Amino acid sequence: MQFLGQPDPDIGVCECAFRKRIPMCQNANQFPGLVLGTATFGVAPRSDDVPALVRGALERGITSFDTANSYGNQPEYDQPSVPSHRIRPSSEELLGRALRGIRDEVHLASKVGEPLGRSRVDGPFVGLLTRDHIVEQLDLSLRRLGTDRLDLYYAHLPDLHTPLDETVATFNDLITQGKIRAWGISNYSSAQTEQLMHVVSESGARPPATHQVRYSLAERDVEDSGVTAAAQKFDIPMLAYSPLAGGLLAGRGAIERAYVGHRRWGGGGFSDDQIGRARRFASLADDWGVTPSSLALAWLFRRPGVAGVVVGTSALSNLDDARRATAIDLDDEQLALLDALRFAEDRPGRSDAVDRQLSQR
């Protein structure tokens, strides 16, 4: 295992080498390869701790922030030790407050298209990428974030009930209006990406600037299902979210926490087989002198087509780990050992609600 370039004396990271190695998103306001995810803002970190985490990210050179209209104050995020979703501010509200006065210094992304409130569990997945819904939700997101535009706006999940040309045209119109600078997709299958890019080509619309996908060493279905191949075919940079598979790759202590995997939003935990493989993964990290989370991120940074990683955390030390990962270079033997772990194909701790949503697409 080698480190790229001359490391920073404080954290062992060479930002210059990182930027040369990791491609940037192809839009006017390019973002670096580390993005702070905010899905659990208000839960972990608690509302009062969000400003310090955001400041700490900025101090570490992490200037990209990822949120959504469905993050933070949804009922399945509730835990016994945190305020109820009924009184908890949304992720967008908390992030907007933390960025007050420094909005122009950051890259800000949000999403639309995921069910909200009780409909996330009980309602049909219908009409969430119509023109009316996208425009309505963007205005609400801008208000919560305290800004007049987004740098990137995602179609959070595909909506099979809305014509693709309507969705594509709406995002493009919002760019023309100056309300967003670029648009992206998230959680699209290879076939759905092909269909969307056909509409983009036929209409002459601006293509999506990025595809945000669930991707980690423990969750590689995007490779097996052709999603990564489709992204590369159409030259769409990928952003990987859940890079530690809900804590499965974060080390032995993280695996044993009460809220890991999809337990954070009402789902299940990890299987015995997944935990066993995660422990073997942690042993490799120990042998190589790095933390498990750094190793998991380093593996992702080296995957073809991956332009960046969305890291969600409540601890600044985890952001330092993420920066260290950008300087780790894995050799062929190490990559082979990691590939040999091959976790179970099922997503770790995936909830019944997520399965139901997938079946509707």
* pLDDT single digits (tens) 331-350: 999 999 999 998 865 554 43
- Closest Cα to residue 181, out of 106, 232, 72, 98? 106
d(CA 155, CA 171): 9
Q: Band the pLDDT of 134: cuts 50, 70, 90.
A: very high
d(CA 102, CA 212): 25
Pairing of strands 328-329, 2-3: antiparallel
- Closest Cα to residue 343, out of 188, 213, 212, 215? 215
* pLDDT single digits (tens) 27-83: 333 335 899 999 999 999 999 999 999 999 999 999 999 999 999 888 878 888 888
Give pTM, 2 decimals. 0.85
Residue pointed to by tokens 């595809």: 211
Average pLDDT over residues 273-290: 92
Please say whether the beta carbons of 296 and 328 come within 8 A. no
- Closest Cα to residue 314, out of 74, 72, 104? 72
For residue 67, report the phi and psi dihedrals to the nearest 5 degrees.
-140, -170
Please say whether the beta carbons of 147 and 96 come within 8 A. yes
Average pLDDT over residues 125-154: 94
Ranges of beta strands (E only) in the chain are 2-3, 34-37, 64-66, 107-112, 152-155, 183-186, 211-214, 238-241, 306-312, 328-329
The CA–CA distances, whole Å, from 322 to 69, 116, 252, 271 equal: 26, 31, 18, 26
